[in-house]
Chains A and B, each alone.
Chain A
Amino acid sequence: MRQKIILRVISKILIPYILLFALYVQWHGDFGPGGGFQAGVIFAAGFILYAIIFGVATVRDVVPATATRYLLVIGVLLYSGVGVAGLILGGNYLDYNVLAHEATHGQHLGILLVEAGVGITVASAMITIFCTFAGRRPEEHEKAEEG
């Protein structure tokens, strides 16, 4: 799909805004609709659009396979780590009240970190799944995208 100039130009214009919107959904999930799951999926969608237009190898230059694999684990560990931090600070597992001096501040912090963990895991999981599927036999993938 590299030779389609309209798709290339439009997607280049759109992708930064897709990623920006994903970040907005991620950090604004406490106040409006959204959260880690949606943000992760939208963030991954930006990369997937890039992969469809410019090829999986180009995306792998931006985010190497190793990076997404580590991020996959980092997200889950961040979520579980917040739970363990609650245990260490004297609360129950995933009890955010003890994370800060004030209970609601702790809740805010805990929810923010937990949603960040969810977002990282979901985004890297989607990018990983897409790139493994699409990078398997790239010549046929390109053909099917044409048709």
Chain B
Amino acid sequence: MIIISLMVFMAVTAIAIARIHDLFAMVMLTSIFSLLGAAAYVVMDAVDVAFTEAAVGAGISTVLMLGTLALTTSEEKPSPPKNVIGGLVMVAITGAVLIYGTLDMPYYGDPTAPIHHHVADYYLGKSTGEIGLPNVVTSVLASYRGYDTLGETFVIFTAAAGVLAILGRGRIARRRPEDDDVAAVTTTEAADKPGGSPP
């Protein structure tokens, strides 16, 4: 019941995101969508995933999108009316195929589902003896799947390195003390200004 109402809320939010034109409101709705998703994960007992979804999906990505909006504009450009029938047919066909695909899937929480019998048995049964941590998720994440987590860490590292390479203005390469001081002074002055008029 809770999960169904959460799903309904998520669907309403998704439709609102698709229909709205104010990008600022859109970012806020995306954040709400993530938060609802996190609540759904909590209901499904996946607290670790919910935690990540709430922190990354609702928190950081909202802030990053707001930062992008601050650099660009907060109003969507009006696009000329397009052929909606073709898109609607495409969406309907894709949705039908996806729903057809779920018919074969085991029910949620079904103990005989294949996902519960591949390696999950081993992790749940052996991790207390082999790793000795109460949180099996951490054992799997950091020890059994250490390579995957290493790869994920490198993904984060690469993302930051990419942002620095594109937007970082190469301050490391030609770094002089004066450079940083000038930048700091201008930024402080801008922050001291009374914020400008609302758009």
Q: Is B194 an interface residue (CB 8 A)?
A: yes
| Residues on A with beta carbons closer than 8 Å to the beta carbon of B157 | 72-73, 75-76, 121, 125
A136 to B64, CA, bound (A): 13
Q: Per DSSP, are chain A's interface residues mostly helix, strand or loop, or mixed?
A: helix
A110 to B149, CA, bound (A): 13
Nearest residue in B to A133 (C-beta to C-beta)?
B67
Within B146-193, the residues touching A (CB, 8 Å) are 146-147, 149-150, 152-154, 156-157, 159-161, 163-164, 167-168, 171-172, 175, 180, 183-184, 186-188, 190-193
* Segment from B8-16, B107-115, B127-135 that makes contact with A: B127-135
Q: Is B71 an interface residue (CB 8 A)?
A: yes
| Residues on A with beta carbons closer than 8 Å to the beta carbon of B192 | 2
| Residues on A with beta carbons closer than 8 Å to the beta carbon of B120 | none
Q: Is A45 an interface residue (CB 8 A)?
A: yes
| Residues on A with beta carbons closer than 8 Å to the beta carbon of B150 | 79-80, 83, 94
| Given A69-B172, A79-B153, A94-B146, also A132-B163 (CB < 8 A) | yes
A110 to B175, CA, bound (A): 37
| Given A55-B188, A146-B195, also A134-B70 (CB < 8 A) | yes
Interface string of A10-53 (1 = CB under 8 A from B): 00000000000000010001111111011001101100100010
Asked whether, in the complex, the Cβ of A147 is within 8 Å of the Cβ of B24, the reply is: yes
Interface string of A50-90 (1 = CB under 8 A from B): 00101111101100111001001101100110010000000
| Residues on A with beta carbons closer than 8 Å to the beta carbon of B129 | 104
A54 to B183, CA, bound (A): 16
Interface string of A127-141 (1 = CB under 8 A from B): 011101111111111
A2 to B193, CA, bound (A): 9
| Residues on A with beta carbons closer than 8 Å to the beta carbon of B24 | 147
Q: Is B139 an interface residue (CB 8 A)?
A: yes
Q: Is B141 an interface residue (CB 8 A)?
A: yes
| Residues on B with beta carbons closer than 8 Å to the beta carbon of A122 | 153, 156
Nearest CB of A to B94, in Å: 31
Asked whether, in the complex, the Cβ of B190 is within 8 Å of the Cβ of A138, the reply is: yes
Interface size bracket, A side: 35 or more
A31 to B134, CA, bound (A): 5
Query: Could you give 25 example pairs across A and B, Cβ below 8 Å?
Result: A30-B134, A31-B133, A35-B137, A37-B55, A41-B56, A41-B60, A44-B60, A55-B187, A66-B175, A75-B157, A76-B154, A94-B147, A107-B132, A110-B142, A111-B142, A114-B142, A118-B149, A122-B156, A125-B157, A132-B167, A132-B168, A137-B70, A139-B193, A141-B71, A144-B199
For the complex of A and B, list the 4 residue pairs with the smallest distance between their C-beta atoms, beginning with the closest. A55-B191, A125-B160, A144-B70, A104-B132
- B residues whose Cβ falls under 8 Å from a Cβ of A: 24, 47-48, 50-52, 55-56, 59-60, 63-64, 66-71, 74, 129-135, 137-139, 141-143, 146-147, 149-150, 152-154, 156-157, 159-161, 163-164, 167-168, 171-172, 175, 180, 183-184, 186-188, 190-199
